A and B are shown apart, each in its own frame.
Chain A
Amino acid sequence: MTLEAFFFYAFTTLALGGATLAITRRSAVHAAISLMVSLLGVAGLYLLLNAEFLFVSQIILYIGGILLLFLFVIMLVNLDAGRGLRQFHQRWPLGAAVTAIAGVAFAILWSRAKLPPSQTMPDVGNVELVADTLLQDYLVPFEVVSLLLLVAVVGSVLLARKRA
Chain B
Amino acid sequence: MNPAAFYPTATDYLRFLPELILTIGGVLLLVLEALTGDNKDKSSLGYLAIAVVLGAMFAVPVALANPGTSFNGMIVSDGFAAFFRMVTLLVGLFTLLCSTSYLSREKANTGEFYLLVLFSLAGQGIMAASNELIMVFLGLEIASISSYVLAGFLRDDKRGSEAALKYFLLGSFATAFLLYGISWIYGVTGATNLVAIRESLAAGTSGNSMAVAAAALMLIGLAFKVSAAPFQAWAPDVYQGAPAPVSGFLSAGPKAAAFAIFLRIFQTSFESFSSRYEPVLWILALATMLVGNFSALWQSNVKRMLAYSSIAHAGYVLVAVTTNSNVGTAAAMFYLAAYALMNFGAFAAVTHLAGRGESHVTIDDLKGLASKQPVVAGLLTVCLLSLTGVPLTAGFFGKFYIFKAAIDNHLYWLSALGLLNSAIAAYYYLRILAAMYMHEPKTTDHPEPVPGGIQLTMWFSAAGILTLGVFPGLVLDYANRFATFVK
Contact with A along B142-162 (1 / 0, CB 8 A): 100110110011011000000
Q: Would you call A151 and B190 a contact (CB within 8 A)?
A: no
Of B142, B152, B209, which one neighbours A147 at CB under 8 angstroms?
Answer: B142
Q: Would you call A109 and B210 a contact (CB within 8 A)?
A: yes
B35 interface contact, C-beta 8 A: no
CB-nearest residue of chain B relative to A106? B213
Q: Would you call B1 and A159 a contact (CB within 8 A)?
A: no
Q: Would you call B71 and A155 a contact (CB within 8 A)?
A: no
Q: Would you call A138 and B116 a contact (CB within 8 A)?
A: no
Given A115-B187, A116-B189, A116-B190, verify A144-B116 contact (CB < 8 Å).
Answer: no
In residues 345-376 of chain B, which contact A (Cβ within 8 Å)? none
Q: How distant is the Cα of A108 from the Cα of B209 in the complex, in angstroms?
A: 9
In residues 117-164 of chain A, which contact B (Cβ within 8 Å)? 132, 135-141, 144-145, 147-148, 150-152, 154-155, 158-159, 163-164
Q: How distant is the Cα of A137 from the Cα of B149 in the complex, in angstroms?
A: 32
Residues from chain B with a CB closer than 8 A to the CB of A139 are: 8, 71-72
Of A108, A132, A154, which one neighbours B116 at CB under 8 angstroms?
Answer: A154
Q: Would you call B208 and A140 a contact (CB within 8 A)?
A: no
CB distance from B29 to the nearest CB of A (A): 10
Of A110, A136, A159, which one neighbours B5 at CB under 8 angstroms?
Answer: A136
Q: Would you call A115 and B112 a contact (CB within 8 A)?
A: no
Of B6, B134, B145, B187, which one neighbours A138 at CB under 8 angstroms?
Answer: B134
Q: How distant is the Cα of A45 from the Cα of B164 in the complex, in angstroms?
A: 38
Q: Would you call B72 and A136 a contact (CB within 8 A)?
A: yes
Contact with A along B1-19 (1 / 0, CB 8 A): 1000110100000001000
CB distance from A89 to the nearest CB of B (A): 15
Of A109, A136, A141, A151, which one neighbours B145 at CB under 8 angstroms?
Answer: A151
Residues from chain B with a CB closer than 8 A to the CB of A144 are: 126, 135, 138-139, 142
A86 interface contact, C-beta 8 A: no
In residues 5-39 of chain B, which contact A (Cβ within 8 Å)? 5-6, 8, 16, 23, 27, 30, 38
Given A148-B141, A148-B145, A154-B30, verify A141-B209 contact (CB < 8 Å).
Answer: no
B115 interface contact, C-beta 8 A: yes
Q: How distant is the Cα of A139 from the Cα of B74 in the complex, in angstroms?
A: 9
> For the side of the interface on A, what is the size category?
20 to 34
A83 interface contact, C-beta 8 A: no
Residues from chain A with a CB closer than 8 A to the CB of B208 are: 113-114
Q: Would you call B146 and A116 a contact (CB within 8 A)?
A: no
A91 interface contact, C-beta 8 A: no
Contact with A along B68-80 (1 / 0, CB 8 A): 0001101100000
B94 interface contact, C-beta 8 A: no
> For the side of the interface on B, what is the size category?
35 or more
Of B138, B142, B152, B209, which one neighbours A112 at CB under 8 angstroms?
Answer: B209
Residues from chain B with a CB closer than 8 A to the CB of A138 are: 72, 74, 134
Residues from chain A with a CB closer than 8 A to the CB of B155 are: 159, 163
Q: How distant is the Cα of A155 from the Cα of B145 in the complex, in angstroms?
A: 8
Of B1, B5, B112, which one neighbours A154 at CB under 8 angstroms?
Answer: B112
Of B1, B5, B135, B148, which one neighbours A140 at CB under 8 angstroms?
Answer: B135
Residues from chain B with a CB closer than 8 A to the CB of A109 are: 209-210, 213
Residues from chain A with a CB closer than 8 A to the CB of B189 are: 116
Residues from chain A with a CB closer than 8 A to the CB of B205 are: 114, 116
Q: How distant is the Cα of A2 from the Cα of B216 in the complex, in angstroms?
A: 37
B406 interface contact, C-beta 8 A: no
Of A135, A141, A163, which one neighbours B135 at CB under 8 angstroms?
Answer: A141
Residues from chain A with a CB closer than 8 A to the CB of B156 are: 163
B456 interface contact, C-beta 8 A: no
Residues from chain B with a CB closer than 8 A to the CB of A110 are: 210
Q: Would you list 12 pairs from A and B whose C-beta atoms are within 8 A, ordered by A residue?
A: A109-B213, A113-B188, A115-B187, A144-B135, A151-B116, A151-B146, A154-B112, A155-B116, A155-B145, A155-B149, A158-B116, A159-B152
Q: Which A positions have Cβ atoms within 8 angstroms of B? A: 105, 108-110, 112-116, 132, 135-141, 144-145, 147-148, 150-152, 154-155, 158-159, 163-164
The 5 lowest CB-CB distance pairs between A and B, nearest first, are: A155-B149, A113-B210, A140-B71, A140-B74, A112-B209
Since A116-B188, A136-B72, A147-B23 are in contact, a sample of 10 more A-B pairs with Cβ atoms closer than 8 Å, ordered by chain A residue number, is A109-B209, A135-B6, A137-B72, A141-B134, A144-B135, A147-B142, A151-B145, A154-B116, A155-B145, A163-B155
